């Protein structure tokens, strides 16, 4: 392992004070006067902390480039992130969104301290005109967004980077709330490390299989209206794009284009 990569991931890898230490590291950095309105230099400083101090569970530069390139080619107007952590991806992808003419990047983060740190770093980067950090449980927040006329429309890109076991249920909720529609691209991080077979199976499943799965769960069909079952009629074209975690481990982003 070289200083190209972050320090290795430990048994405890977040929420132990390192996030607040990151903010202090940036505030006391010798180049801090250059960080104002400069997303690139803030990202470099976050990476420096991950390489020299403590591991951070960021998307990192390698997988980040996969997504940034997709933003450049698709030129989305809106992007929704579920799992914002300290704002690394919001800064990286928010800048890419702004550079290609996009209008809104919304990052959902449950942890109050992480959300506060992300807001501070996003503001320092000069991106708070386009990036909004929303604190709270993601499912509750998604339901609230769907009831707000300003946000109740399909997203161009949805980025899943939170609790891996929640990917599938939260994608189905996004489908049910019509945040996913033909044209939406859904991105799922960490699909090798640790991987998510249930999610991958779902986005690859034909509509007949998904409908059968729903119908088999209740003879009277009443459960089929539950948000947990999503929209079985949506069809995705999916590919796995391999990259590296910031610590150097092999990983991948699953890219699922909703085509109909």
Domain assignment present for 156 = yes
What's the confidence (pLDDT) of residue 152? Answer: 85
What's the confidence (pLDDT) of residue 213? Answer: 81
Mean pLDDT of the 171-177 span: 97
Return the higher-pLDDT residue of 219 and 207: 207
Report pLDDT digits (tens) over 229-249.
899 999 999 999 999 999 999
Domain limits for position 204: 57-258
Return the higher-pLDDT residue of 46 and 221: 46
Return the higher-pLDDT residue of 1 and 249: 249
- Does residue 88 have a pLDDT over 90? yes
- Average confidence score pLDDT of the chain: 94
| Whole-angstrom distance, CA of residue 56 vs CA of residue 50 | 6
Domain assignment present for 133 = yes
Domain assignment present for 121 = yes
Report pLDDT digits (tens) over 27-47.
999 999 999 999 999 999 999
Domain assignment present for 6 = no
Q: Residue 83: name the closest of 107, 56, 112 by CA.
A: 107
Total length of the chain: 260
- Does residue 225 have a pLDDT over 50? no
Q: Residue 130: name the closest of 104, 107, 108, 156 by CA.
A: 104
What's the confidence (pLDDT) of residue 222? Answer: 47
Domain assignment present for 10 = no
**What is the 3-state secondary structure of 5-59?**
CCCCCCCCCCCCCHHHHHHHHHHCCCCHHHCCCCHHHHHHHHHHHHHHCCCCCCC
- Does residue 162 have a pLDDT over 90? yes
What's the confidence (pLDDT) of residue 2? Answer: 46
Quickly state the pLDDT bin for 217 (edges 50, 70, 90): low
- Percent of the chain's residues with pLDDT above 90: 89
Quickly state the pLDDT bin for 150 (edges 50, 70, 90): confident
> CA-CA distances (angstroms) from residue 86 to 75, 115, 183, 200, 232?
25, 7, 29, 27, 34
| Whole-angstrom distance, CA of residue 33 vs CA of residue 83 | 29
Domain assignment present for 134 = yes
159: helix, strand or coil: strand
- CATH number, domain of 222, equals 3.40.50.150
Mean pLDDT of the 12-31 span: 97
Mean pLDDT of the 107-128 span: 98
What's the confidence (pLDDT) of residue 226? Answer: 56
What's the confidence (pLDDT) of residue 167? Answer: 97
How many domains does the structure of the chain reveal? 1
Domain assignment present for 97 = yes
Domain assignment present for 3 = no
185 Cβ neighbours under 8 A, 6+ residues apart: 70, 74, 76, 156, 157, 158, 255, 256, 257, 258
What pTM value is reported for the model?
A: 0.94
């Amino acid at each position: 392992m070289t200083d190209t990569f972050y320090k290795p991931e430990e048994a405890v890898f977040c929420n132990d004070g390192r996030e607040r230490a990151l903010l202090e590291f940036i505030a006391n950095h010798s180049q801090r006067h250059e960080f104002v309105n400069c997303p690139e230099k803030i990202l470099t400083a976050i990476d420096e902390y991950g390489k020299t101090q403590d591991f951070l569970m960021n998307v990192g530069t390698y997988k980040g480039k996969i997504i940034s390139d997709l933003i450049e080619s698709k030129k989305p107007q809106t992007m929704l992130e579920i799992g914002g952590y300290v704002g690394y991806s919001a800064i990286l992808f928010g800048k890419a969104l702004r550079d290609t003419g996009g209008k809104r990047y919304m990052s959902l983060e449950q942890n109050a301290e992480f959300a506060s740190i992300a807001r501070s770093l996003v503001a320092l980067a000069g991106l708070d005109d386009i990036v909004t950090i929303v604190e709270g449980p993601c499912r509750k927040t998604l339901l609230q967004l769907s009831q707000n006329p300003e946000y109740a429309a399909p997203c161009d890109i949805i980025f899943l980077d939170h609790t891996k076991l929640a990917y599938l249920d939260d994608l189905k909720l996004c489908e049910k709330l019509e945040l996913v529609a033909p044209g939406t691209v859904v991105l799922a991080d960490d699909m090798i490390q640790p991987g998510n077979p249930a999610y991958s199976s779902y986005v690859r499943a034909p509509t007949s299989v998904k409908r059968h799965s729903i119908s088999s769960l209740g003879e009277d069909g009443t459960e089929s209206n539950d948000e947990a079952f999503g929209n079985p009629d949506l069809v995705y074209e999916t590919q796995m794009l391999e990259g590296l975690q910031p610590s150097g481990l092999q990983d991948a982003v699953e890219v699922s284009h909703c085509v109909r």
